[in-house]
Amino acid sequence: MENIPDAKVSLSDPWLAYFADRGHTGVRRIGGGVEGVVYGLGQGRAAKVWSGRPPADFDLTRQVYADIARHPLPFSTPQIVDVEEHEGVLVTYERELPGDPMRVGSARADYGRELPTQHNDALLTVLRGLASVPGTDAMRQLTVQGDDRPLWRDHDCFRDALAALVARAAARHGAALAAYVSDFDAGVARTQKALRSLPDAPVTAIHGDLVPPNIHVDAAGRPVAVLDFGFYTTAGDPAFEAAVTAAIWDMYGPHAEEHTAELTRLFAHELSYAPAALTAYQAAYALTTYDLFGLDDRDGHFRWCAEQLRRNAVFNTEMGVRHNDSLMAATSMVAS
């Protein structure tokens, strides 16, 4: 969620007046995210003006919110307390979530190539917390951004559902991505094979978009809220959440590649996830989101996805051989 200075929006945002006219004092725009724009109303309440998900899906989204909120977690999550419609726009009233957004290190001079321990501990707390929430029927019925059907439809395990999503996404505009990524069709096939070869895993809540603005922390740096579910929210292997978080936490900073590698190693070690599984999931994420905002390298997300695939050890044959050799060597060193 992106914070917007009040002075910049007060002259052009009719929702500020709308909420003030309904008796709320101290109305302020908190920020905008995938699902819509959030306004603070005071007295621990907030309002969300929805834009990212059509109203037809709202009852399902509300159930997912409730499924997550009823589970004890060390941080708050969204909880809807009232709903209305204004001029065809869905407005929900929710509890206001505490804390301030985390900041990614590469955008600031005080963070170098390695992320601070406090920062990494906060991410681990969030990942462990979400991994403790069982996947529900409502989560399985969600459609991820860019697709036209619930992820789990006709599937009874996450790895097969994700492999099928990769195939559908590649069929949408794969030719555009193939112009920037060599051996594209074979890479898609290798990624699907790797996904289908993964062992059984727990099915838990997946946020799917744990970027810095979507995690709020207190003054001590502890996570106190996770928000803006919806972009890739589903039920699935918690290792997928960890893999995607490592990849997208710092997408465009000067140390982005180093941060992805650092977080991938950290999550594999601390959460006992197989490195090869994380790599496969990172390839799947790039293959299923590449076309959401643009279809060539003028779009930052498209360009980022192409770069991810060009260096992904599962997607690429030659790199995959080196990757597997490295894993075998590391295993032999531990055994010795």
Task: State the CATH number of the domain containing residue 321.
Answer: 3.90.1200.10
pLDDT, residue 11, reads: 52
**Is the domain of 254 the same as that of 292?**
yes
pLDDT, residue 56, reads: 74
CATH number at residue 41: 3.30.200.20
Looking up tokens 């505490």, which residue turns up?
Answer: 98
- For 170, the 3-state DSSP assignment is helix
pLDDT, residue 55, reads: 66
pLDDT, residue 330, reads: 38
pTM: 0.88
Distance separating alpha carbons of residues 64 and 143, to the nearest angstrom: 12
In a domain? residue 13: no
On the 0-12 / 13-18 / 19+ scale of CB atoms within 10 A, 110 is exposed
**Is the domain of 90 the same as that of 129?**
no
**Is the domain of 67 the same as that of 108?**
no
Reported in sequence order, the residue ranges of 233-315 that DSSP labels E, i.e. its strands, are 234-236
**Is the domain of 71 the same as that of 219?**
no
In a domain? residue 126: yes
Q: Which of 95, 123, 150 is the last residue of a domain?
A: 95
Q: Which of 259, 254, 252, 226 is nearest to 131 (CA)?
A: 226
In a domain? residue 7: no
In a domain? residue 70: yes
Provide the token pair at 149.
Answer: 């059907």
**Is the domain of 219 the same as that of 176?**
yes
**Is the domain of 237 the same as that of 126?**
yes
In a domain? residue 121: yes
Distance separating alpha carbons of residues 46 and 15, to the nearest angstrom: 13
Half-sphere exposure of 1 (CA within 13 A, CB side): 25
**Is the domain of 78 the same as that of 137?**
no
Q: Are 288 and 166 a contacting pair, CB within 8 Å?
A: yes
Which residues form the domain of 88?
22-95
The H or E element that residue 89 is part of is: strand 89-95
In a domain? residue 334: no
Q: Which of 74, 95, 116 is the last residue of a domain?
A: 95
**Is the domain of 82 the same as that of 122?**
no
DSSP string computed for 284-324: HHHHHHTTSS-SSTTSHHHHHHHHHHHT-TTT-HHHHHHHH
Work out how many domains the chain is built from and give that number: 2
Please give the chain's pLDDT, 336 residues, in tens.
Answer: 444 444 444 557 999 999 999 999 889 998 887 778 999 999 899 999 988 666 677 899 899 999 999 999 999 999 999 999 999 899 999 999 999 999 764 444 445 688 999 999 999 999 999 999 999 999 999 999 999 999 999 999 999 999 999 999 999 999 999 999 999 999 999 999 999 999 999 999 999 999 999 999 999 999 999 998 989 999 999 999 999 999 999 999 999 999 999 999 999 999 999 999 999 999 999 999 999 999 999 999 999 999 999 999 999 975 554 554 444 443 344 333
Looking up tokens 């838990």, which residue turns up?
Answer: 204
**Is the domain of 209 the same as that of 235?**
yes
Q: Which of 34, 66, 95 is the last residue of a domain?
A: 95
Q: At what angle do helices 275-289 and 317-335 cross, to 10 degrees?
A: 160
**Is the domain of 211 the same as that of 140?**
yes
In a domain? residue 10: no
Looking up tokens 């006709």, which residue turns up?
Answer: 154
Distance separating alpha carbons of residues 243 and 248, to the nearest angstrom: 9
In a domain? residue 316: yes
Provide the token pair at 57.
Answer: 């899906």
**Is the domain of 83 the same as that of 187?**
no
Q: Which residues of 212-231 are buried (b: 16+ CB within 10 A; e: fewer)?
A: bbbbbbeeeeebbbbbbbbb
**Is the domain of 224 the same as that of 166?**
yes
